[in-house]
Amino acid sequence: MEQQSVQHWVDGLQARGQYTFTPNQAQSATKVSATALQRALHRLHAKGRIARARNGFFVIVPLEYSSAGAPPASWFIDSLMKSVGRSYYVALLTAAGLHGASHQQPQEFQVMTTAPMRPIVLGRVRLAFLKNGQLDAMPTVRTKTPTGSMIVSTPETTAIDLVRYYKSAGYLSNVATVLQELVPALNAKELLRVTRRIGNVSDVRRLGYLLDHLGAKSLTKPLKEWVSRQTSYPVLLRPDQAQPGVEPDARWGVIANELIEVET
């Protein structure tokens, strides 16, 4: 049976620890016609055996994840991004959780990439994509997953990204809460290296201000020395809000136009 041969092939992939495939790979391996392949894939999808992440890319759903609609995104994100030819790294709250800052569990798997991509929803598994034009300059680490590995922002890259993309990180009070848990994983020299790469003095000052607020001045000394050598003007802590009638912070030149409340 043609459809059965496709199913057997899918079962064989899972048995070998592979959880993703393309229709071209399936047709090449099973030798079925294009029509028979589409029919087989449709049936497997209807049964919940596979999930379509995007056109031309399928995720195999093992029995233990059938109620969720897909295995964890970490199982297939690397294969997915290779299939679309995009550089990427796992970012923001998702990356922070991997580095030990798990107080705020993200509702979606957050990925930084080089160009806009639509969100992907596979049952209860949600992937959100953000664009970073400086992605290739950001330090990352390759982290093992149950199915291979994936690229994750370093703790220091994660810290500056949380400030730069604060809306996607739950706004500044949530950013500060996550940073508080991330502090033990941060290295002052690496933090300076990352911030010098992006060259955005305003965001570096916001990060320094928040870390000082959390009592992590040992991490911010190199940042402050670098910022002091740059030409800059007072910046709003939250750039999308109005400027209050208060003076800038003396150390960072940050105008505190939002009250930061850190959860404990």
**How large is the average pLDDT for residues 7-12?**
95
Give the pLDDT of residue 92: 97
pLDDT-wise least confident of 13-17, 106-110, 144-148, 227-231:
227-231
Position 1 pLDDT exceeds 60? no
- Pick one of 1.10.10.10, 3.10.180.10, 1.20.80.30, 3.30.300.30 as the CATH number of 2-65: 1.10.10.10
* Displacement of CA 54 from its chain's centroid (Å): 18
Q: How does the average pLDDT of the chain come out, rounded?
A: 93
Residue 3 pLDDT level (bands cut at 50, 70, 90): very low
Q: How confident is residue 4, by pLDDT bands cut at 50, 70 and 90? A: low
Reference 237, options 249, 228, 222; nearest CA is 249
Average pLDDT over residues 129-153: 96
Q: How confident is the model at residue 254 (pLDDT cuts 50, 70, 90)?
A: very high
**Looking at residue 264, what is its pLDDT?**
77
Give the per-residue SS3 of 166-189. CCCCCHHHHHHHHHHHHHHHCCHH
Q: How confident is the model at residue 125 (pLDDT cuts 50, 70, 90)?
A: very high
Residue 214: CB partners within 8 Å, gap ≥ 6? 176, 179, 180, 183, 262
**8 Å CB contact between 234 and 240:** no
> Would you kindly state where each structural domain of the chain is located, as residue ranges?
2-65, 73-255
Contact between residue 57 and residue 22 where contact means Cβ atoms under 8 Å apart? yes
Per-residue pLDDT tens for 186-215?
Answer: 999 999 999 888 888 999 999 999 999 999
Q: Which residues contact 156 (CB under 8 A, 6 or more apart)?
A: 139, 186, 187, 190, 191, 193, 194
pLDDT surpassing 70 at residue 2: no
